[in-house]
Amino acid sequence: MPLARGPRRVVSLVPSLTEAVAVTVPGALVGATDWCSHPADLDGLGVVRVGGTKNPDVPRIVALAPDLVVANEEENRAPDLAALRAAGLEVLVTEVRTLDQAFRELARVLAACGAGRRPEWLEEAESAWQGWESPSARLRAAVPIWRRPWMVLGRDTFAGDLLARLGVDNAYAGHADRYPRVPIEELSAAALDLVVLPDEPYRFTREDGPEAFPAGTPVALVSGRHLTWYGPSLAEAPTVLGGALRAALR
């Protein structure tokens, strides 16, 4: 049953949505995961930590008596969401695999959280991406997201859609899995124009990641928040990511 009015108490199980709710509906957020890092003053705002995205503390969430719990079908586990619903909580589950989906889902979540209108940052984000001109020359890249074992972006991912809009085609976009494990030997031997290494979920750095690829391979170290988060960071994402990609090819 839909809520009769915008909720006053919200628990977010998704870092992206935590930031979006916190900056758009101040005071609504009462709980967030241990991985929620934005806004930087989240703990100072009295937001209670409720565990990880994959292992939330259901009793603690229930004790907060939220009007709404916001989650994501990829980041959160179905059994945990079922347990929250069984406890009588309203749970809104998002699905975000493209930029267009992200804009729609953000508007839906923020409205459910009590936002009276579309926030200015969301309008700015849409304008930033609509005004971004993709390079005519396409690049073929692999996008590792984990090491030990090596995993890459596969088919049907939000980050892959963002990169495609920036002129980068994911070499594993046709893989059967969304996040396939690929041996480093295969990655190193692939005919790639570029390797894109975000700093989350695995924290790739200049000293940890690039050395695994043949000398001379262009490597773009990019902000994981700008590549994988759907929230206020989307407004600056095309500029930030585009700059990192260009720098890697100089």
Q: Domain residue spans in the chain?
A: 10-118, 135-248
pLDDT in tens, 196-222: 999 999 999 999 999 999 989 999 999
Per CATH, is 135-248 categorized as 3.40.50.1980?
yes
Percent of the chain, pLDDT > 70? 97
- Classify domain 10-118 at the CATH class level: alpha beta
Q: How many residues does the chain have?
A: 250
**Which residue pairs from 84-89 have beta carbons closer than 8 angstroms and sit at least 24 positions apart in sequence?**
84/58, 87/58, 87/62, 89/61, 89/62
> Do the domains at 10-118 and 135-248 have one common CATH topology?
yes
Q: Is 9 exposed, middle or buried (0-12, 13-18, 19+ CB in 10 A)?
A: middle
Q: Which of 13-27, 125-139, 164-178, 227-241 has the lowest mean pLDDT?
A: 125-139
On whether the CB atoms of residues 63 and 92 are closer than 8 A, the answer is no
CA 199 to chain centre: 12
pLDDT digits (tens, 9 = 90+) for 35-60: 999 999 998 889 999 999 999 999 99
Put simply, whether the predicted model's pTM sits higher than 0.85 gets the answer yes
- Chain segment 110-126, per-residue pLDDT in tens: 999 999 889 999 999 99
Per-residue confidence (pLDDT) for residue 94, from 0 to 100: 97
User: Cα–Cα distances in Å, from 119 out to 75, 98, 108, 200?
Assistant: 24, 20, 12, 27
Average pLDDT, the chain: 94
Q: Which H or E element spans position 203?
A: none
